[in-house]
Amino acid sequence: MIQTAALVVPLLEVKDLAFSYGDRPAVRGASFSIRKGEIFGFLGPNGAGKTTTLACIAGLRLPSQGSLAFLGEPFEPAFSPRDRARLGLVPQEIALYDELTGRENLEFFGQLAGLRGGGLDRAVGEALELAGLVERGGDRVSSYSGGMKRRLNLAAGDLHRPELLMLDEPTVGVDPQSRNHVFESLRALTSRGRTLLYTTHYMEEAQRLCDRVAILDQGRVLGVGTAAELAASAGIPGADLEQVFLKVTGRRLRDE
Amino acid sequence: MSLLSSAWAIARKDLRIYFRDRTGLLLGFALPIALVGVFGLVTKYFFGQESGLSKTTLWVGDFDGSARSKAFVDALRGAATVRVKPDPKEKAETAESLRKKVEDGEAHHALVVEKGFGEALAAGRLPTLRMYRDPDRQMEAQMVSVGLMQAFFSAAGSDSAPLLTARALEILGLPEEWRERTLAVAQAFSTGIGALFGEAEKEGKVGADRAGDGAGKDDGGPDFQSVMLDLVPVERVDLKPPKRPKQLSYMLAQSVSGTGVMMLMFGLVACGALMIRERDQKTLDRIRMSPAPSTALLWGKYLFAAICGAMQLVLLFGFGRLVFAVDILADPVTLAVVSLATLLAVSSFGILVAAWARTQKQADGVSTLLILVMSAVGGAWFPVQIIDLPLPAKIVSRSTITHWAVSAYQGLFWNGKSWYEPPMLLSIGVLLGFALLAGLLARLLFQRRYVGV
């Protein structure tokens, strides 16, 4: 296994995480840490366990083993509203209410996050701006294009300014313009000091966007580091992430 | 690809999808079978058991205590259309308590066999019985009359035939002063009929050429059916709860209560099922990930269901008031208490179904099945409360939310009861018990299905 050391206090530290769906293991002893202010990529083929790992971190699934620490403190979002408030999630699916307008969706999720009054209005306004939907905020989500929904999906996850925003393949099925908008939005977020955990199976996205990457396959973390560090550790210095990925995970097709 | 093969490919794909959800499929097939079964059982108990007729409850007090009165009450116990209460082993009622039962709406008919019953029969006179009755319960009145006639014939023996014939002629308008003469004619008639039957029996012809059921019916003549039902002399004392709205009929009250509760169940199950959609859309994950307390989701669903249910009830009762002029707001506090208990019970049921179901199809199937079954056996369609159900059917009926909700609304609308009176407290208490039980089960299932904890 490739491992590069990090001598900073991690924002999130995941140790030996495991989760099974019945007798089918999805995550097998995953360990990695995310530093404050970085975009941490989670790279893996379909069925690698990326979404399940995210769900375990978010408290949506209870891992069968392992531990989480946030800035060195034990972290249990499944049981602690305070811990949940430190996280934001942008699910792979468009997790929005079609029958409500964009603004109503944001207001609802903002209220659940504890925002009220002027603070809520401000957060909703900024989220609409982030999504590029200021003009269409009053329209029902059902009337939005796929790209608009994706952008709003992202904005809804960041509404309450979480310390760690987790994005599960946020660019699946969007046109190049919307994808570019998503990337710009993410850069804008990191420039404001936000930390992102970004899962994808698009190598070029990970290469272009992420400061560090974890390669995940069949529930195991096979390597963590920058693209250059991973290439060096894999014995192909100067290679791009795709080459490293194929070297580390092999060329065999994955059954989901 | 031809039209036929394309159509077949589409149909085959749909069948595959249809058959893949095995629980949903099972429910799809079980639903009609269960409904046929429930309809069959309800119809059997409602429209007839082995005797061919269902029974209605008749409270009886024997204050004569003679052999004849005892025989009469025993005959009533054996009658096909009534079930006599109290049972022989139970404490006897006083005339005043019988009266109060009817006045309070706890009973619709109560018969007082007064002192002198046996003596009158022995002396060849018709004894008078006193019946406290709810004049608005016509269906039960017919059943009670049939039972009384059957018992009276049985208890009074052959002596009763001329007496009752004479009474029939009186009812049909023959002056009372001709009583002795009519009695003589009746006696001669009875003797003559007896002789005719004796002769026919000798020739082995009894029952060979019986006339049709409609024989003797004369549209322009006297109503023999009502004459027969009135043959047993009964002094009727009509009593009804003073708070009962004037415009209300029993069936209308039943319809408003029963339909209201059934539609409420359908509505609130649909509310609960929204949770399944949220789970599939992943908006539920967003809610669960928010810093809001984890119980807020279930409470939010309760609140939503309760508000929708309250709006539904307001509309339904408002419609009842406007169209049928039913004064349902006579006791708004009791209406609110009963509605709140019903809403809590039904909301819990809806959320329980949503928490249990893995797919929308399963939720639809099981909720339709349960609601229709509960509506049928719990009295939302037929007033099963007026029927003396066999014990197993009674237990099933009382195990439903519908039974207690309909009973509570009927208690309010029909009997004018307030929420703090014992029968109402019982119904309200059971509804709250249902709410608590279903709520706890829903929470457990929710944890398992949605949280995986």
Number of other residues whose CB lies within 10 A of the CB of residue B18: 12
Nearest CA in chain A to B282: A95
Which residue(s) pair with A43 in the sheet? A200, A215
Q: What is the DSSP string of B267-292?
A: HHHHHHHHHHHHHHHTHHHHHHHSSS
> CB of B448 within 8 Å of any CB in chain A?
no
Structure token digits, residue B255: 């319809």
Q: Which of A77, A81, A89 sits opposite B286 (nearest CB)?
A: A89
Q: Tell me if B283 and A95 make a contact (CB, 8 A cut-off).
A: yes
Nearest residue to A226 via CA among A74, A5, A25, A49: A5
Q: Tell me if B290 and A97 make a contact (CB, 8 A cut-off).
A: no
pTM: predicted TM-score of the whole model, two decimal places? 0.70
> CB of B287 within 8 Å of any CB in chain A?
yes
Q: How far apart are CA B110 and CA B107, in angstroms?
A: 7
> CB of A87 within 8 Å of any CB in chain B?
yes
Q: What residues of B are in contact with residue A62 (Cβ under 8 Å)? A: 451-453
Q: Residue B442 in contact with residue B352, Cβ under 8 Å?
A: yes
Structure token digits, residue B224: 């023999």
Structure token digits, residue B321: 């008031």
> CB of B447 within 8 Å of any CB in chain A?
no
Q: Tell me if B290 and A82 make a contact (CB, 8 A cut-off).
A: no
B265-295 in b/e form (b: 16+ CB < 10 A) is bbbbbbbbbebbebbebbbbbbbbbbbbebe
Q: Tell me if B289 and A89 make a contact (CB, 8 A cut-off).
A: yes
Q: How far apart are CA B342 and CA B134, in angstroms?
A: 27
- Look at residue B443 in the predicted model and tell me its pLDDT: 86
Residue to substitute from A51, A84, A100, A161, interface B, most B β-carbons within 10 A? A84
Q: What residues of A are in contact with residue B293 (Cβ under 8 Å)? A: 81
> CB of B281 within 8 Å of any CB in chain A?
yes
Helix H or strand E encompassing A88: strand A87-90
Structure token digits, residue B405: 């909700």
> CB of B451 within 8 Å of any CB in chain A?
yes
Amino acid at B77: R
Structure token digits, residue B375: 């509506």
Whole-number average pLDDT of chain A = 89
Residue to substitute from A97, A112, A150, A166, interface B, most B β-carbons within 10 A? A112
Residue range A93-117: average pLDDT?
Answer: 92
Which residue(s) pair with A87 in the sheet? A164
Q: How far apart are CA B15 and CA B23, in angstroms?
A: 15
Nearest residue to B42 via CA among B402, B412, B427, B313: B402
Q: What residues of A are in contact with residue B289 (Cβ under 8 Å)? A: 58-60, 77, 84, 87, 89
- Give per-residue pLDDT as tens, A4-63: 444 568 999 999 999 998 888 999 999 999 999 999 999 988 888 999 999 999 999 999
> CB of B453 within 8 Å of any CB in chain A?
yes
Q: Tell me if B291 and A91 make a contact (CB, 8 A cut-off).
A: no
Q: How far apart are CA B234 and CA B128, in angstroms?
A: 6
Show pLDDT as tens, one digit a residue, over chain B (453 residues).
677 777 777 777 777 777 777 776 776 677 667 767 766 766 666 555 544 556 788 899 988 888 888 888 888 888 888 888 888 888 888 888 888 888 887 888 899 988 888 888 777 777 878 889 888 787 788 888 888 887 877 776 666 666 777 777 777 777 777 767 777 776 777 677 667 767 777 776 655 444 333 333 444 444 545 555 566 777 888 887 766 766 667 777 787 788 888 888 888 887 777 888 888 888 988 998 888 887 788 888 888 888 888 888 888 888 877 877 667 777 889 999 999 999 999 989 988 888 888 888 788 888 888 888 888 888 888 777 666 677 777 888 889 999 999 999 888 888 888 899 888 999 999 999 999 999 999 888 887 776 554
Cβ pairs A/B, distance under 8 A: 60
Q: How far apart are CA B229 and CA B210, in angstroms?
A: 23
Residue to substitute from A51, A56, A60, A168, interface B, most B β-carbons within 10 A? A60
Q: Which of A82, A93, A112 sits opposite B281 (nearest CB)?
A: A93
> CB of A27 within 8 Å of any CB in chain B?
no
Residue to substitute from A86, A89, A158, interface B, most B β-carbons within 10 A? A89
Q: What is the DSSP string of B372-391?
A: HHHHHHHTSSS-GGGB---H
Q: Which of B286, B291, B453 sits opposite A78 (nearest CB)?
A: B453
Q: How far apart are CA B137 and CA B108, in angstroms?
A: 7
Q: Tell me if B285 and A109 make a contact (CB, 8 A cut-off).
A: no
Q: How far apart are CA B161 and CA B295, in angstroms?
A: 74
